[in-house]
Homo-oligomer: A and B are copies of this chain.
Amino acid sequence: MPLVRISHPAGMTEAHRQALSDGVQEAMESTIQVPPNDRFHILTEHASGLIFDAHYLGIERSLAWVAVQITLRKGRTVEMKQALYRRIVENLATDPGLRPEDVMICLVENDLADWSFGKGEAPYVR
């Protein structure tokens, strides 16, 4: 059910982009109970337009900086969210090799009635 938006610099290979998607997906599966086949990701490359502070909170960011915004139903605990963040940066450090400093994550929560996955159905509120 999460809808994931990944905004990344231009010039990446498709394998690199797939690794970004895979790493976020595995992290959601292993920490916040997202089913393996519940994957809906939108990746957008930016030749320019990613404008960010390179030092905020003492974290040193590089031009490889990526923003991950995840819309998901409400209900995850703070501990689950913390585990999610840790797992995403671990996964992306392994593949495609992103520095943990270069991964921003932002969650937006909504309700069970706010989702349709096709056919005009609202499967979570039957």
Contact = CB atoms under 8 A, between A and B. Distances in A.
Task: Classify the interface of chain A: helix, strand, loop or mixed.
Answer: mixed
Contact of A119 (B81, B101, B118): B101
Nearest to A90: B120
Interface residues of A, number: 64
Interface in A72-117: 78, 81-82, 85-90, 100-111, 113-117
Scoring A50, A53, A87, A111 by chain B CB atoms within 10 A of each residue's CB, the highest score goes to A53
B119 A100 contact: yes
A125 B82 contact: yes
A40 to B, nearest CB: 5
A35 to B, nearest CB: 8
A37 interface: yes
Interface of A: 3, 7, 14, 17-18, 21, 35, 37-46, 48-53, 55-57, 59, 61, 67, 69, 71, 78, 81-82, 85-90, 100-111, 113-123, 125
